[in-house]
Structure 1
Amino acid sequence: MVVQKFGGTSVADPAAVRRLIDIARAARTRDGAGPVLVVSALSGVTVALLNVAAEAGAGRVEPALSHVEELRERHLAMARDLAGAGQAPDLAALITAEFDQLAAVVKALGVLREVSPATLDVIAAAGELLSSRIVAGALVAAGLPGEWVDARRVVITNGLQTRAVPLMAETTAALGALVAPLVDAGRMPVLGGFVGATIEGRTTTLGRGGSDYSAAIVGAGLGAAEIQIWTDVDGMLTADPRIVPQARLVPRLSFAEAAELAYFGAKVLHPSTIHPAVERNIPVRILNSRKPEGSGTLITAESTRGAGSLTAMAAKRDLTVVDVTSSRMLMAYGFLRQVFEVFERFQTAVDVVTTSEVSVSVTVDDRRHLDAIVEALSAFAEVAVEPEMALLCAVGDRLRGDPAIAPRVVGVLEEVPLRMISQAASRRNITVIMRQADLPHAMHRLHEEFFE
């Protein structure tokens, strides 16, 4: 049995959902069981819902309600197009009830002028809950035994709103009780990704892009043979094709390589996806729903060290470099602890770190608390901030065994002013920080050297 996750572009419109149905039907024919489907919100809906919440919280109730009605009509039109005559009225009633509830929440927020994280989760979760109902109905209309499952009953999380952490023991038990029997009975369960709930039943979400994570959680909990991530690209590529048009498909990756690439900016896969698959040693395959005949990228525990010097590269833009310097702290214990306690206090993650005896340089991509962080650091050190920076990360299992590769990477970039250079403790990646304007040239140079 496989778990298939379909992203927003794979459920964007009726034509996309019909492709999804064909893909799911083919998987059922091969396996004889399942598949279990995890779906994202319709393309663009999550962003639209978050905008509705922001407008309502700012007191702009009428524009927010207008957007709710636009979303209602889009979902109803999808249901009318895809659902069979026998179930279309029931599906329309469910969609209408969901949007009636959303409209009531918007009106309440217009009075309160405040959107709590818990309320934001309720609003954001609506996209996946609705899309999964539509897909389940479309499967039934196509003659397949689709059955909607409320993800809030099976993905059990802690109480951290907007970025909840799954409780795997409770989630595995719930999947075993509610989803596994459906698979055993020949049904095709359909769940919304991104969405969960606490043990007490309070709606939570797993953070943006969390539908991939949901699929991995469900796959691990059910002991799936494979987790498939169906998206709008052919698989993991050697570079971002928007910057490097010559980017090539990477046919195979190790779990470790995929985790590094996802963390450092490869948008094809959510960074949290890999961990549940690693825990159960379940292969993950990235596929293109517009080209289902393709083989995609297979991610397994096996190393790819024989494939080439590097496997792929990833990049992040819009970073800020923060330099923290204090000659008073020369050789003093506790300097690093003081620095990172500030970032922890403001819940701001750090991507890359370089240190010396008197200074620390870090990169951050979340600027929400940057002013407060700088103020706190300035209490015991001199602080300099450099915005509009970019990160370029070259990844490959062969970096671990060939000490010549890392210097070669830096040498290829000799024309680019590098702000920071870092090699991970895993020795599986080398990361360089540069001005954002230099990123395209740097990516082209590395790709020419290692992949062409």
Structure 2
Amino acid sequence: MIVQKFGGTSVADPDAVLRLVAIARAGRAPDGRGPIIVVSALSGVTDALLTVAAEAGAARTADALALIDRLRERHLAMTRALVGQDQRTALDAEIADQFDQLAAVARALGVLREVSDRTLDVVAAMGELFSSRIVAAALVQAGLPGEWVDARRVMVTTGDHTRAVPLMRETAAALRAVVLPRVDAGRIPVLGGFVGATLDGRTTTLGRGGSDYSGAIVGAAVGASEIQIWTDVDGMLTADPRLIAEPRLVPHLSFAEAAELAYFGAKVLHPSTIHPAVERNIPVRILNSRKPDGLGTLITSEPAPGGDAVTAMAAKRDVTVIDITSSRMLMAYGFLRQVFEVFERFQTAVDVVTTSEVSVSVTVDDRRHLEAIVDALSEFGEVAIEPEMALLCAVGDRLRADPAIAARVVRVLEEVPLRMISQAASRRNITVIMRQADLPHAMHRLHEEFFGRPVAAPVEAR
């Protein structure tokens, strides 16, 4: 039995949903079990819902209500295209009722003129709740035993609104109690990703990109044989296609390599997705819903035998370098601990760290608390920041055994002014920091060095 997670572009319109139905049909096990389907909101809907909340909270209620009407019509148009009249009457009534509730929330926000994180979760969660209902109905219309499952019944989380953390034990128990009996009965459960609820029933969300994480959690809880992430690209690529016109497809990589790439900016996979799969050693396959016969990328516990010197590259823009210089570092114990306690206090992740005798440099890509962080760090020494920097990371399991590969990375970039160079403790990646303006040139130089002339990603039968 497999878990299939479909991103927003894979449910964006009726044609996309019909492709999903065909993929789900092909994903049925010989014994008639599965698949379990996890879906994102229709493409662009989550952003639109957040705009509804922002407009209403700013007392622009008319604009918020107009956007709600456009979203209502988009979803009802989906049901008209995908679902017969016998199902559609009840489904349309449910969707209309939910949009009426959303409009009531918008009017209330227009009076209050503020939007709490709790309310933001209620609004943002609606996209996945709508899309999962529509997909379940489309499966039934196609003669498949689809059944909608409210994700809020099975994804149990903390109360950290807009960034809730799944409670794994409670979530696994709920999934086994609610989803597995439906699978055993030959049903195809369909639930929204990204969405959960606290133990006392308050709606929560897992943060942007959390639908992939939901899919992996479901797969781990039910003991899936494979977790499939269906998206709009052929799989993991050797580089960001916005920087390299035709990057190569990576057919196979390890969990560790995928986690490094996701953390350092590869957009195909949410960084949290890998962890549940690693714990249960469940393969993850990334596939293109527009090319369902494509090879895709397989992610397993072991790297591909005889792989390239560098498996792939990832990049982050809008990085800020923070330098802390202090003579107190000399012969001092606990200095770095005090520095990192500041970042912990403001819940800001650090990507790269380098140190010298009297200074420490770190990079962050979350600027929400930057001013407060700088103020707190100033207690320890002189603090300087450099905005508009970029991070470029080369990842590959062979870096661990061959130090010459890291040397090649630095040598190829000798014409690029590098602000920081760091190799992770795992020795599976080497990361360089540079001015953001230098990133495209640096990426091209590295890609040419390790992958040669870019070629189009192949499409092969799996």
Deviation, structure 1 residue 330: 2.2
Deviation, structure 1 residue 26: 1.0
Q: Which residue of 2 aligns with 1:33?
A: 33
- Structure 1 residue 296 and structure 2 residue 296: aligned? yes
Deviation, structure 1 residue 437: 0.8
TM-score computed with the length of structure 2 as normaliser: 0.96
Q: Which residue of 1 aligns with 2:359?
A: 359
Quote the Cα distance in structure 2 between the aligned partners of 1:383 and 1:31: 63
Q: Which residue of 2 aligns with 1:234?
A: 234
Asked if the contact 1:315/1:390 (under 8 Å) is kept, the reply is yes
Asked if the contact 2:194/2:214 (under 8 Å) is kept, the reply is yes
Q: Which residue of 2 aligns with 1:344?
A: 344
Q: Which residue of 2 aligns with 1:249?
A: 249
1:404 is paired with a residue of what secondary structure? helix
Which residue type is aligned with residue 180 of structure 2?
Answer: A
1:156 is paired with a residue of what secondary structure? coil
Quote the Cα distance in structure 1 between the aligned partners of 2:335 and 2:55: 43
Deviation, structure 1 residue 30: 5.3
Asked if the contact 1:261/1:313 (under 8 Å) is kept, the reply is yes
Asked if the contact 2:3/2:219 (under 8 Å) is kept, the reply is yes
Asked if the contact 1:213/1:270 (under 8 Å) is kept, the reply is yes
Quote the Cα distance in structure 2 between the aligned partners of 1:168 and 1:371: 35
Quote the Cα distance in structure 1 between the aligned partners of 2:28 and 2:386: 53
Which residue type is aligned with residue 143 of structure 1?
Answer: G
Q: Which residue of 2 aligns with 1:142?
A: 142
Quote the Cα distance in structure 2 between the aligned partners of 1:249 and 1:314: 14
Q: Which residue of 2 aligns with 1:428?
A: 428
Which residue type is aligned with residue 437 of structure 2?
Answer: A
259-268 or 359-368, which moves further after superposition?
359-368
Root-mean-square deviation (CA, aligned residues, Å) is: 1.1
Quote the Cα distance in structure 2 between the aligned partners of 1:263 and 1:291: 26
Deviation, structure 1 residue 418: 0.4
Quote the Cα distance in structure 2 between the aligned partners of 1:262 and 1:230: 16
1:92 is paired with a residue of what secondary structure? helix
Asked if the contact 2:391/2:434 (under 8 Å) is kept, the reply is yes
Quote the Cα distance in structure 2 between the aligned partners of 1:331 and 1:59: 57
Q: Which residue of 1 aligns with 2:114?
A: 114
TM-score computed with the length of structure 1 as normaliser: 0.98
Quote the Cα distance in structure 2 between the aligned partners of 1:295 and 1:121: 36
235-244 or 269-278, which moves further after superposition?
235-244
Q: Deviations over 1:28-85 (max 9, x none)?
A: 1656311100000000000111111111112211111111111111111111111111
What residue ranges of structure 2 are gaps of 5+ in the alignment?
453-462
Quote the Cα distance in structure 1 between the aligned partners of 2:264 and 2:257: 11
Asked if the contact 1:331/1:358 (under 8 Å) is kept, the reply is no
Which residue type is aligned with residue 360 of structure 1?
Answer: V
Quote the Cα distance in structure 1 between the aligned partners of 2:223 and 2:78: 33
Which residue type is aligned with residue 291 of structure 2?
Answer: K
What residue ranges of structure 1 are gaps of 5+ in the alignment?
none
Which residue type is aligned with residue 28 of structure 2?
Answer: R
2:174 is paired with a residue of what secondary structure? helix
Q: Which residue of 1 aligns with 2:97?
A: 97
110-119 or 392-401, which moves further after superposition?
110-119
Asked if the contact 2:252/2:303 (under 8 Å) is kept, the reply is no
Q: Deviations over 1:290-313 (max 9, x none)?
A: 000101000000123521211001
Q: Which residue of 1 aligns with 2:213?
A: 213
- Which contiguous aligned blocks of 4+ residues in structure 1 show a shift greater than 3 angstroms? none
1:74 is paired with a residue of what secondary structure? helix
Q: Deviations over 1:102-153 (max 9, x none)?
A: 1111111111122111111111100000000000011111111100000010
Asked if the contact 2:195/2:205 (under 8 Å) is kept, the reply is yes
Asked if the contact 2:389/2:435 (under 8 Å) is kept, the reply is yes
Quote the Cα distance in structure 2 between the aligned partners of 1:74 and 1:191: 20
- When residues 291 and 30 of structure 1 are mapped into structure 2, their CA distance, relative to the original with a 3 A threshold, is farther
Quote the Cα distance in structure 2 between the aligned partners of 1:31 and 1:6: 23
Quote the Cα distance in structure 1 between the aligned partners of 2:219 and 2:365: 30
2:322 is paired with a residue of what secondary structure? strand
Paired residues in the alignment total 452
